[in-house]
Chains A and B, each alone.
Chain A
Amino acid sequence: MYETEEERLKQLKERLDQQPLPLSKADQAIRQGVERVRQEKRRIRKRRKRFLGSVAVIALLLLTFITSIRVSPVFANVVASIPGMEKFVELIAMDKGLNAAIQNDYYQEIGVTQTIQDKTLTIDGVILDETGMNIFYTIDSERPLTGLRVDYINLKAEGMPEGSFSYGNMMDEEEVYTYKDRIDYQFGELYTSQDQSFDLKVATKLKGEETVFTVPFTVPKQVKPSEVYTIDKEVDIAGQKFTIEKVTVSPLRVGVKITIDSANPMKILQFEDMRLEDEKGEVWGSIQNGTTAFGGEDGESTLFLQSNYFSKPEKLYLRINKVQALKAEEAIAEVNTETGEWFNQPEDQKIQLVKSDKSHAEFIMVKADHPSFQYDFASAISDAKGIEMHSPSVGMYSSDSIKHWDISFSPTDYTNPLKLEIFAYPNYLEGDIKIELK
């Protein structure tokens, strides 16, 4: 019945069977796989067998993240009443600020399209403010778009400062003819322009075929100005000092500019629970999906929170109850990848170096101790001669009880020990900082 197709499949199989196999590497991979389990077992035994027998479910962080989004029916209704917006509901559900911007009519329809061969890109609409722009767009085709990926994105406008952006979405399995996404573009500094004209470039690849869309568009309504609260107040959490410089409230996000005192005995790594709170106790926390902070030099940085721009509370407080911190001398991990030593490992040993060689190092943490610790482990890495390592790839994954960070180094002709700037660590300082903004 389907002889032609069967024949073609058979040809493809024969083709694949002729491919040479990397068998010696395969043996190594099998050994490594087994070794990983053994190491986990050893580690788990040390922990008084607490986790033995738990179900092994390998969860990919992002996948769980995306599938676990719940959309409130009220919000879904509001969004659905805006033409063309219903399909983006799940892309904004995680951010209270975005929800509020849409409910307050701050979303602007654009409706500009470009068609290249069988594919059409539509900029459905945007949310623009002085800090950045959220661009909602769709790619449609008569052919299935399964496997489509966005290679790069570029946004241009006159005088626009450089910025950062995040994008990327998983395709709906049922809707193979449509790809939709939100680009979260963030300007490096506040930016406004007279004509609000932009050029968006989106390069996509589908089965090796590249399509580059270039779509000029203009945002009709002028942006709402940000509200700036100048604070300039030094605070202290368990002896570590830092200054809250100012808080800028914009429709898309709230920026909190802080400077950390370089004389602190400990290095503050993450402000995990920094949040805004109004007089009724409503809370706006950190950004869940997008740029979370801009770091500057001299301990200066800006952290971003979800926006309460449209809520107009009577009172507003900035609150912090715990920060992640390490002793200054432990904040840059010194590791010899050849001997597997971590010279200045924090005493609590919550994160351990379990395996390393010149091309990679694997760190692990027992998850149950800090189930919500979902951070990268290291940021910048340099070698003993101070040469910065180029784009080492970092894999973060979890098994049922262990969280892994797998860091690869290339090239491998560096000099040990390596210096890894620790980005986050599950050691907390507690305090109670409450600053009145209004």
Chain B
Amino acid sequence: MEIKEKELHVKAIAGDDEAFLAVMQLHKESLLRTALAFLQNEDDAIEALQEVTYRAYKKVRTVKEPNYLKTWLIRIMMNYCQDQLKLRKRFTANNSALETVSSEDISYIEMREALATLSDDEQRLIYLKYFQESKFKDIAQSENIPEGTVKSRLYKTMRTLRSYFEDKGGSDHV
């Protein structure tokens, strides 16, 4: 992490409002991408960003390690998105905006379907590892589990994904 970024993180955690806004600016793209990946809808992603800012601003002082502030933010976002997806299931009336995937080709849709069958924990793991390209060490810290567990869980998750494609007969792996 750059010195400047770390400095901002430290200040934000200490309660400096300007630093907090700067931190949000710094990570807004990652947060938006996270929201879009889960919610697949721009308006919902914007709303998610507002809510995550709100939650993060209230709790930022509780972050212990400045290095993990970004993963901490991403985690709040993922939790929020997963809650929203559960609510969508219950309030079907709000779902008109869900079908925005028409232009994606089949392979992406298949992958999304496969990911949707995973548990919340597994989805977060895959997201952090392959979409945020986080290090095992950072994931371990963010999910509060040992690094070895992260690796074995990821391995198991990949196996689940593979068996999903095998069951579908749609995969062409060797």
B137 contacts partner chain A, Cβ-Cβ < 8 Å? no
Contacts of A207 on B, CB cut-off 8 Å?
Answer: 109, 112-113, 116
For residue B139, give the distance in angstroms from its CB to the closest CB of chain A: 15
A150 on interface, CB distance cutoff 8 Å: yes
Q: Are A149 and B55 in contact (CB under 8 A)?
A: no
Interface size class of B (residues with CB under 8 A): 35 or more
Question: In the complex, which residues of chain A have a beta carbon less than 8 angstroms from the beta carbon of B119?
Answer: 173
A55–chain B nearest beta-carbon distance, Å: 9
Cβ of A116 under 8 Å from chain B = no
Check B111 for interface membership: any CB of A closer than 8 A: yes
Distance of A32 Cα from B47 Cα, bound (Å): 10
Q: Does B46 contact A (CB under 8 A)?
A: yes
Which chain A residues border B101 with CB–CB below 8 Å?
208
Closest residue to B85 on the A side, CB-wise? A147
Give the Cβ gap from A338 to chain B, nearest Cβ, in Å: 21
Is there contact, CB below 8 Å, between B89 and A9? no
Instruction: Chain B residues near A23: list those with CB within 8 A.
Output: 28-29, 32
User: Which of A3, A12, A21, A152 lies at the interface centre, i.e. has the most chain B CB atoms within 10 A of its CB?
Assistant: A12
Q: Which of A89-97, A163-171, A246-254, A270-278 contacts B (4 or more CB under 8 A)?
A: A163-171
CB atoms of A21 and B32 under 8 A apart? yes
In the complex, which residues of chain A have a beta carbon less than 8 angstroms from the beta carbon of B130?
Answer: 6, 9-10, 13
- Interface status of A144 (Cβ within 8 A of chain B): yes
Tell me if B2 counts as interface (CB < 8 A to partner A).
no
Across the interface, do B131 and A63 meet the contact criterion of CB distance under 8 Å?
no
A46 to B55, CA, bound (A): 22
The chain B residue with its CB closest to the CB of A397 is B51
Shortest beta-carbon distance from B112 to chain A in Å: 7
In the bound complex, what is the Cα–Cα distance between A324 and B114 (angstroms)?
Answer: 50
B86 touches A168 (CB 8 A): no
B49–A33 touching, CB < 8 Å: yes
Answer yes or no: B158 CB below 8 A from chain A CBs. Answer: yes
Interface: B33 (CB within 8 A): yes
Q: Which residues from chain A contact B29 at a C-beta distance below 8 Å?
A: 21, 23
Q: In the bound complex, what is the Cα–Cα distance between A168 and B89 (angstroms)?
A: 8
The answer to whether A4 touches B173, judged by C-beta atoms less than 8 angstroms apart, is yes
Task: Kindly supply a per-residue 1/0 record for chain A positions 176-196, scoring 1 wherever the CB is within 8 Å of any chain B CB and 0 otherwise.
Answer: 100000000000000000000
Contact A34/B59 with A8-B111, A168-B90 known, Cβ cut-off 8 Å: no
B58 neighbours in A (Cβ, 8 Å): 37, 56, 399
Contact among B42, B53, B126 with A33 in the assembled complex (CB-CB below 8 Å): B53
- State which residues 105-164 of B face A: CB under 8 Å: 107-109, 111-113, 116-117, 119, 126, 130-131, 155, 158-159, 161-162
Residues facing B in A40-75 (CB within 8 A) are 56, 58, 60, 62-63
Interface presence of A339 (CB below 8 A): no
Instruction: Name the contact of A16 in the complex, choosing from B90, B94, B131, B161 (C-beta under 8 A).
Output: B131
- For window 296-346 of chain A, which residues contact chain B by CB distance below 8 Å? none
A4 to B166, CA, bound (A): 12
B interface footprint on A206-217 (CB within 8 Å = 1, 0 otherwise): 011000000000
B81 CB within 8 Å of chain A: no
Asked if residues B51 and A9 are in contact (CB atoms below 8 Å), the reply is no
Q: B36: which A residues are within 8 A, CB to CB?
A: 16, 19, 21
Most A-side CB within 10 Å, residue of B50, B56, B108, B161: B50
- How far, in whole Å, are A324 and B34 apart by their CA atoms in the complex? 43
Asked if residues B53 and A30 are in contact (CB atoms below 8 Å), the reply is yes
A21 — which chain B residues lie within 8 A by C-beta? Answer: 29, 32-33, 36
Known: A22-B42, A30-B49. A5 touches B173 (CB 8 A): yes
Decide if A413 is an interface residue (CB 8 Å cutoff): no
Report B-chain residues with C-beta under 8 Å of the C-beta of A168: 89-92
Q: Could you say which residues of chain A place their CB within 8 Å of the CB of B53? A: 29-30, 32-34
Closest to B34 in A: A16
Q: With A and B bound together, what is the CA distance between A37 and B24 in angstroms?
A: 15
B54 partner, pick from A2, A10, A28, A37, beta carbons under 8 A: A37
**A171: contacting residue among B45, B56, B89, B126, CB under 8 A:** B89
Give the chain B neighbours of A169 by CB distance below 8 A. 90
How far apart are the CA atoms of A13 and B131 in the complex, in Å?
5
B92 touches A34 (CB 8 A): no
Is residue A26 within 8 Å, beta carbon to beta carbon, of the partner chain?
A: yes
In the bound complex, CA of A17 to CA of B34 (Å): 10
Query: For residue A15, which residues in chain B have a CB less than 8 angstroms away from its CB?
Result: 104, 108
Min distance, Cβ B80 to any Cβ of chain A, angstroms: 9
The reply to whether the CB of B20 lies closer than 8 angstroms to some CB of chain A is yes
Contact B50 A29 (CB under 8 A): yes
- Taking A16-B33, A56-B59, A147-B116 as given, write out 6 further A-B residue pairs in contact, using a Cβ cutoff of 8 Å, ordered by the A residue number: A6-B130, A15-B104, A33-B49, A33-B50, A33-B52, A36-B50
Residues of A participating in the B interface, judged by any CB pair closer than 8 Å: 1-6, 8-13, 15-17, 19, 21-23, 25-30, 32-34, 36-37, 56, 58, 60, 62-63, 143-144, 146-152, 168-171, 173, 176, 207-208, 393, 399
**Among all A-B residue pairs, the 5 with the closest Cβ atoms:** A33-B53, A4-B173, A29-B50, A2-B158, A33-B54
Can you list 23 pairs linking A and B with CB atoms under 8 Å apart? Answer: A2-B158, A2-B162, A8-B107, A16-B131, A17-B33, A21-B32, A21-B36, A22-B45, A22-B46, A26-B28, A26-B46, A27-B25, A29-B49, A30-B21, A33-B49, A58-B55, A60-B83, A147-B116, A150-B92, A171-B89, A207-B109, A208-B101, A208-B109
| B residues apposed to A, CB below 8 Å | 17, 20-21, 24-25, 28-29, 32-33, 36-37, 42, 45-47, 49-59, 83, 85-92, 94-95, 99, 101, 104, 107-109, 111-113, 116-117, 119, 126, 130-131, 155, 158-159, 161-162, 165, 167, 171-174
